[in-house]
Structure 1
Amino acid sequence: MSAQDVLNSATTLASYNVLLQVTFRVLTFLLNAFTLRFVSKELIGVVNVRLTLLYTTVVFLSREAFRRACLSGKTEHNWKQIINLLWLTVPLGLLWAFALGSVWLYLLEAPDPLTVPHYGPAVALFGLSAIQELLCEPLWVLAQAHMFVRLKVVAESLAMVARCLLTVLLVVSAPQLGLYVFCTAQLLYTGCLVLCYAAYFLHFLGSPAAKRMTFPFHSVGDLLPSVGNGEQPVVNWKLARLTWSFFKQSFLKQILTEGERYVMTFLNVLNFGDQGIYDIVNNLGSMVARFVFLPIEESFYVFFAKVLERGQEIRQQRNDDVAMAAEVLECLLKLVMVIGLIITVFGYSYSNLALDIYGGSLLSSGTGPSLLRCYCGYVLLLAVNGVTECFTFAVMSREEVDRYNMMMLALSVSFLVLSYFLTWFLGSVGFILANCLNMGLRITHSLLYISHYFRDSPWEPLRGLLPSPALLLALGLSAALTIFSEVTLCCDGGWVLRLAHVAVGGVCLLAVLTTILLAETRLVRFIRTRLLTRRSGKES
C-alpha cells in the first residue's frame, strides 16, 4: 500500500472515528442527564469512577502495548506470529482482573451498602467485562492494520446503543437493582463488540473481497493461537520486545490518563458524591477532546507508523514519504490548535449556562462552573499533546521508547503528588491544574523531539502551532464580548437574557469561523481534501 493510499485510509478512518465518538459522547451525555434524575450521585460516583476505572485499567494494561507494537512498521510481518502474540492479551487480562479486583474488594474503602448495594459482585462483573472485550483483540488489530474503517464504527455504535437502551430500561423499571443495572449493561456492551467482530470475520474470510486483497488468513482456525510447524518461532520476538517497551510506557501513561481517578480511589480526597459530580463535569468538558482529538490520534498514528520507518533518521527514508508526513503533521497541529482555542475561548463564558441546563443547580452551583472553565483550557493542551505524541510514538526507536519511559515515571510521580496536594487546597479543580502542568511537560518533550527529528530537513511542521494574526484577533475579541455578555445577561435573568447570551456567542463563533475560512486557507484545503472527501474503493 503506497503512502498516499495509507493517508487516504487514515483520514477516512479518522472521519469515521470522529462520527463514532460524537455518537458515543452524545449518548453518554444524554444517559447521564437521564440517570441523574433516577439514581443518587453516590451511585454515579461508584460506577463512573471506581468501577469504570477497574475496567479501563484492566483493558488498557492488557492490550495497549500489543496494539502499538503490532501496528508499527511498514514491512510485512508474519501475521500468524502476530496473532499468537495478540492472544496473550487474554491471559494477561485474567491476571490483571484478578489482581486489581482483589485490590478493589479488599484494600479500598467499600461504599455504604444501603446507598450503593451489590458492590462486591459489581467488581467481579466489571472485571469479567474487561476479559470479554479482550477476546476480540486479534480481530481489532487485523481490522485496523487492513483499514477496515467501517467495522469499528458499526461494532461500537451497536454496542453503545444496546448498553444505553438497557441502562435506561433497567433504571426506570428496576432501580432497586443498584449496581447490577450498570453491570448488566457493561457486559452487554462488551459482548456486542465481540459478536460484531466475530460475525464480520466469519463473513469476510474466504470471500472474494478477501481474495482480491490477499488477506493473510482464510479460515476461522487461522485466527486461533497455534504452535506452527516448528520452522519459525511461535511469536515474533522483535515485536515481543517492542511490546514490553510499550507495556512499561503504557503503565505510566495509564496513571497520567486516569490519574485523578486513581487519586480519588486510593487516597479518598473526595467522597463518592463529589466524585460523581466531578465525573459528570469531567465528561461534559472532555466531549470534544474525546470525539475529535482521540480519533485523530488513533488514526494518524497508523498513518505515521506505516509511512515512516521506526528509529530511522530522515535521510535514510524516502523523500516523498517524509514530505507527506511533515505536511500532514503541520496541518494536524494547526487543526487541533484552532479547535482547542475555540473551545477555550467560548467554553469560559458558557460553562455556567451549560451546567445549569444539563443538571440544574446540582451542577451549576459550587465549583462546577470553575471546574468546567479550567477543563476548557486543559482541552487545548490535550489537543496539542495528542498529535505530537501520536507522531513521536510512531517514529521512536525501541531504545528511545525505553528512555521516554523513565521520563514518564517522573511525570507520573509528580502528577500524583501534585494532584494530592492541589486537591486538598483547591478541591476538584486541583486535578485539572495538575493535569495541565504534566501535559505541558509532555508537550515540551514531544516538541523537542519533533524539532530534532526535522532539524536537517527543509520541513518545519511545528509552524502548525502558530495561528494567523487575524484568527488570534478574532478569538481575542470574541473572548472579551462573550465574557461581558455573561456578566450582563447570564445566568439569573431568565430565559430571554440567556438566549441573548447564546446569540452573542453564536455571532462571535460565526465571525471566528469566517476568519478561519479567509485566513487559514491551507488548513481549510487540508480539511476539504483529506478529512471530508469520500473516497470510493478505500473501505472494506
Structure 2
Amino acid sequence: MDSLASSFIHNFSGQLLSRMISFGINMYLLRRIDSDALGLVNVNLTLFYSTTIFLVREPFRKVFLANDIPLSIVVTHLWFAPIICPLIAALLYLCFWLPFSTVPDTSLVPSYVAALSMFAFSAWLESFAEPYVILSLRFGMDAQYAFAQGFLVITQRVFVLVLIITIPMLPVYAFCCAQILSSFFYTALSIYLLISGIQSAVPPIRDFSMMSLYPSFPKNRSLLGTFTVHSIFKQAITNAVFDAVDKLGSLVARIIFAPLEHSAYLYFSSCLRRTTSAKDQTEIDVKKGISAMNSLLHIVTVVGTVIFIFAISYSPLAIKIYGGALLINNADNANILRLYCFYIIIIAINGIVECFAMATMDEEELLSHGWFLFLSSPIQIFLSSVFSFVIGAYGLILANIISMLMRIAYR
C-alpha cells in the first residue's frame, strides 16, 4: 500500500495543480471565445484526439506495465505505438467523423479536415512519448510521470491563451496550433526525463539484439491485440469519461479519481499475475490486492458522497463562477450538475473495480468482457434515446448511470 500511496500522491499533486490552472484559463476563454467555436473544439476535435490517443495508450499500458513481462520484451514491442497511431486516426476519420460528423461553418474553421489533421498529428507526436512513459513507470519514476502529464495539460491551455492574445487568428486554429506545440514539448520532456533518470535506475537489458526488434512473442502480441479490441469496445460505450468531457462536473473526477485509478492499476499489476489463477499465487499477494481494492472502494465512495452532498447546495454557485451569465441563465444546468455529481460516485466505484479486473483477467476473460461492452452499447444507446426524449439532458446521464452499474455487476 505504501507504493500505491506514493504513486497516488505524485499523480494527484500533478493533476490538482494542472487542472486548477487549466480551469482558470477555461473560465477566461469561455467569456472571450464564441461558444460555437468552443463547442467545436471541446466536442469534435478534442474527442477525435482523445479517442485516437486512448486507443494507442490503453492497450500498451495495460499489457506492458505488468511486472511479469520482461523489459526486453517491452522494449521490442513499444515501437508499435507510433506506427499504429496514424492508422487508428485514419480509420476513425473514414468510419466515423467523415460520414457522421457535421461540417462546421467556414466562419469557424475554413478547413475542418485540416483542423482534424492537426489534432491527429498531435496524437501522433504523443505516441512517440509512449515507450518512454511506460519505461519510466516500470522503473518507478512516478514523480516524473506526474510532472509530464501535468505539463501537457497546462501547456495545452497556456499556448491557446498566448496565441489568442498575441496573434490575430481564428480561435479554432489557435487551439490546433496549441495542441501540436504542447504535444511536441510533452514528448521531448518525456524523453528527457527518462534519459536523465535512467542511468542509475535501469538494470542491463540482456539478450537484446537488432533481430529482436521484430515482435516474435506471439503470447504478448495476442494479449496486446486482445486489449486493443477491449479498448475499442470500452471507448464505444464510455466516450472516455475522464478525457473527452471538458466540463465542470468532471473536474473532481479528473483531479482525484483518474490518478487514483492509474496508481491502483499499477499496484494491482505488481502484486497479482493475470496468467496465474488465484489459488496458485502467493496468499499474501492475493490478500494484499483484495485488501487494497476494498480500502479504495471505501475511500472513493466516501469522497464521491461528500462531493454529491456539497453539489446539492453549491451547484448554482459553481456554475456562476465557471461560466458566468452564459451558463447560469439556464436553470437546468444546476440540476444537471447535481445529477452528474451523483454519477461521479458510480464512476469512482467502477474505476477501481475495473482496475482490479483488468489486472487479473486472462486473455479469454478480457475478450469476453470486451464483447459484453460491445453488446451493452446498443442498450445504452437505446436508453439514452428514450430517456433524453422524455427528460432531456438528464436522460443521457441516467443512461450512463444504468450502463455503468451493469458493468460493475458484470465484473
**Shift in CA distance, 175/384, structure 1 to aligned 2, threshold 3 Å:** farther
Query: Please, what TM-score do these two structures have when normalized by structure 2?
Result: 0.92
AA partner of residue 396 (structure 1): M
1:243 equivalenced with 2:235 (yes/no):
no
Q: Distance in 2 between matches of 1:33 and 1:117?
A: 26
* C-alpha deviation, 1:139, in angstroms: 0.9
1:302 equivalenced with 2:302 (yes/no):
no
1:96 to 88, 91, 94: 88
* C-alpha deviation, 1:316, in angstroms: 1.5
Q: Distance in 1 between matches of 2:390 and 2:4?
A: 44
Residue 33 of structure 2 aligns to a residue whose secondary structure is coil
Residue 257 of structure 2 is matched in structure 1 by 293
CA-to-partner distance for each residue in 1:13-68, whole Å, 9 max, x for gaps?
11111112212321221122100121111001100010001101111112311211
Alignment of 1:101-116 (within 5 A): 101-102=93-94, 103-105=96-98, 107-116=100-109
Residue 375 of structure 1 is matched in structure 2 by 340
AA partner of residue 435 (structure 1): N
Residue 456 of structure 1 is matched in structure 2 by none
**Shift in CA distance, 119/217, structure 1 to aligned 2, threshold 3 Å:** farther
Residue 137 of structure 1 is matched in structure 2 by 130
Q: Distance in 2 between matches of 1:63 and 1:157?
A: 17
Alignment of 1:7-406 (within 5 A): 7-72=1-66, 74-77=67-70, 79-102=71-94, 103-105=96-98, 107-174=100-167, 176-205=169-198, 207=199, 209-210=200-201, 214-216=203-205, 226-228=210-212, 234-258=215-239, 283-366=247-330, 367-406=332-371
* C-alpha deviation, 1:301, in angstroms: 0.8
Give the gaps of 5 or more residues in structure 1. Answer: 1-6, 262-277, 447-540
**Shift in CA distance, 115/380, structure 1 to aligned 2, threshold 3 Å:** same
Residue 269 of structure 2 aligns to a residue whose secondary structure is helix
**Shift in CA distance, 114/437, structure 1 to aligned 2, threshold 3 Å:** same
AA partner of residue 268 (structure 2): F
Q: Distance in 1 between matches of 2:394 and 2:245?
A: 12
Residue 37 of structure 1 aligns to a residue whose secondary structure is helix
Query: Please, what TM-score do these two structures have when normalized by structure 1?
Result: 0.71
Alignment of 1:393-432 (within 5 A): 393-432=358-397
AA partner of residue 253 (structure 1): K
Contact 1:66 1:86 in 2 (8 A): yes
AA partner of residue 190 (structure 2): Y
Q: Distance in 1 between matches of 2:279 and 2:93?
A: 49
**Shift in CA distance, 295/177, structure 1 to aligned 2, threshold 3 Å:** same
Residue 214 of structure 1 aligns to a residue whose secondary structure is coil
**Shift in CA distance, 201/21, structure 1 to aligned 2, threshold 3 Å:** closer
Q: Distance in 2 between matches of 1:53 and 1:194?
A: 20
Contact 2:159 2:182 in 1 (8 A): no
* C-alpha deviation, 1:227, in angstroms: 2.6
The range that moved more, 334-343 or 84-93, is 84-93
**Shift in CA distance, 259/295, structure 1 to aligned 2, threshold 3 Å:** closer
Contact 1:104 1:123 in 2 (8 A): no
Give the gaps of 5 or more residues in structure 2. Answer: none
AA partner of residue 428 (structure 1): A
Q: Distance in 1 between matches of 2:181 and 2:269?
A: 33
Greater C-alpha radius of gyration: 1
AA partner of residue 193 (structure 2): Y
AA partner of residue 293 (structure 2): L
Q: Distance in 2 between matches of 1:351 and 1:363?
A: 12
**Shift in CA distance, 199/115, structure 1 to aligned 2, threshold 3 Å:** closer
Residue 286 of structure 1 aligns to a residue whose secondary structure is helix
Q: Distance in 2 between matches of 1:387 and 1:45?
A: 31
CA-to-partner distance for each residue in 1:249-269, whole Å, 9 max, x for gaps?
1001112221799xxxxxxxx
AA partner of residue 258 (structure 1): N
Residue 212 of structure 2 aligns to a residue whose secondary structure is coil
**Shift in CA distance, 146/202, structure 1 to aligned 2, threshold 3 Å:** closer
CA-to-partner distance for each residue in 1:58-103, whole Å, 9 max, x for gaps?
111123112111122x4351x2332222211211111112232345
CA-to-partner distance for each residue in 1:462-498, whole Å, 9 max, x for gaps?
xxxxxxxxxxxxxxxxxxxxxxxxxxxxxxxxxxxxx
Alignment of 1:455-494 (within 5 A): none
Residue 441 of structure 1 is matched in structure 2 by 406
Identical amino acids, percent of aligned pairs: 30
CA-to-partner distance for each residue in 1:187-234, whole Å, 9 max, x for gaps?
1111111101211233345x3x23xx525389xxx8xx94339xxx73
Q: Distance in 1 between matches of 2:119 and 2:271?
A: 38
* C-alpha deviation, 1:172, in angstroms: 2.3
Q: Distance in 2 between matches of 1:217 and 1:204?
A: 20
Contact 1:252 1:408 in 2 (8 A): yes
Contact 1:48 1:279 in 2 (8 A): yes
Contact 1:47 1:182 in 2 (8 A): yes
AA partner of residue 310 (structure 1): R
Q: Distance in 2 between matches of 1:202 and 1:169?
A: 30
**Shift in CA distance, 106/434, structure 1 to aligned 2, threshold 3 Å:** closer
Contact 2:18 2:150 in 1 (8 A): yes
Q: Distance in 2 between matches of 1:164 and 1:217?
A: 42
Q: Distance in 2 between matches of 1:158 and 1:259?
A: 21
Give the root-mean-square deviation of aligned CA atoms. 2.4
